[in-house]
Amino acid sequence: MKSNLKDLHSFKEGILLIDKPRGKTSFSLVSALRKKTGVQKIGHAGTLDPFATGLMILLVGKKFTRLSDSYLGVDKEYEATLKLGTSTNSYDCDGEATATSSLIPTLDNIQTALSKFQGTIEQIPPMFSAKKIKGQTLYKLARKGIEVERKPVSISLQTTLIDYNYPFLSLHISCSKGTYIRSIAHDLGTFLGSFAHLSELRRLRCGTFHVSQSIPGDLLYADI
């Protein structure tokens, strides 16, 4: 839905589509909307990391927070920028470097690698994720330096090259529920032999909702 600053103060129930700005946590958007609307029962249908931008679905009111699971299971689209030459422990730009390489892949190398990231593939969830194994959240273990075995999960995706200008590689990715874009970045870098991590991420679509339908997330922080 479209909205503006005045509308937000009177928004008490429904689905609000937000274009999350870089540097903000997903929870801070929920918190800001609670302050602006006075509604405490607000949830979301999937978080984004602080460095990521794009579509977030905020669910306002008890009637709509109950719908969270139905939106979590939909297909999604992203624009992702990978930085080649360095891998990190979190597989993204907020992590610590774990390996480096001076190898510069050719465009043909890139195209060959991308052919391995099409259709149904097996992906191992990253340690830095909200996934739980035996009741323990992976990212909490990862922050303690603990790594546990994770079983591969089947995902479906279509990966398209947007631009390649070493060290940056930009991709458009359409994917199924449970896909970790950071893992695609890490695994692609490993396949290329050059290492890589996710440096930028923008979510374009969740199911039938598109970021073009959203309002700027900065509106949530205005006049709080």
- Residues 51, 173: Cα–Cα separation, whole Å: 18
Report the alpha-carbon distance of residue 193 to residue 16 in Å, rounded.
42
Rounded to whole angstroms, how far apart are CA atoms 54 and 97? 26
- Spatial separation of the C-alpha atoms in residues 224 and 141, rounded to whole Å: 35
How far is 14 from 58, CA to CA, in rounded Å? Answer: 8
Catalytic residue among 7, 19, 49, 218: 49
Q: How far is CA 139 from the centre of its chain?
A: 15
Segments of the chain assigned E as strands: 14-20, 42-44, 53-60, 76-84, 86-88, 97-100, 119-123, 132-133, 136-137, 153-165, 168-175, 196-206, 209-210, 215-216
Decide if 49 is catalytic: yes
Residues labelled as active-site residues: 49
